[in-house]
Amino acid sequence: SQQGEEDPQALSIQEGENATMNCSYKTSINNLQWYRQNSGRGLVHLILIRSNEREKHSGRLRVTLDTSKKSSSLLITASRAADTASYFCATDTDTGRRALTFGSGTRLQVQP
């Protein structure tokens, strides 16, 4: 079963605008991670937020986590055409496999 569900499934914005993607999950987590995937490539780690953190920043990325609502959001500020990609949230639960459970992703299109 999918742990994370992203919203929206697709998002189209103009360069310079902000992009916000949301992720909801079902069970308690150790941390939540966001990944980016360019067309035809593997996923690349963007940012991690621990379960005891509420907000984290990295460059133009801002991630929030609300464990009471089991949700997270990824904000990309001042978007660029190069930000066009799919974005996935992934949750890390306390299991021995140390695997991440991924959502279905948000496809972001940034128009130049």
Interacting residues toward another protein by CB under 8 A:
1-2, 4, 30-31, 33, 35, 40-45, 48, 50, 88, 90, 92, 96-105
Let me know: does 47 contact 98? Beta carbons within 8 Å.
no
| Cβ 19 to another protein shortest distance, Å | 19
Among residues 41 and 112, whose Cβ is nearest to another protein?
41
Among residues 44 and 78, whose Cβ is nearest to another protein?
44
Among residues 15 and 56, whose Cβ is nearest to another protein?
56
Angle, vertex CA 104, rays to CA 99 and CA 40, nearest 5: 90
| Cβ 91 to another protein shortest distance, Å | 11
Dist CA 104 CA 52 (whole Å): 25
Among residues 31 and 64, whose Cβ is nearest to another protein?
31
| Cβ 64 to another protein shortest distance, Å | 17
Give one DSSP letter per residue of 47-80, joined into a string. EEEETT-SEEEETTEEEEEETTTTEEEEEE-S--
Let me know: does 111 contact 15? Beta carbons within 8 Å.
yes
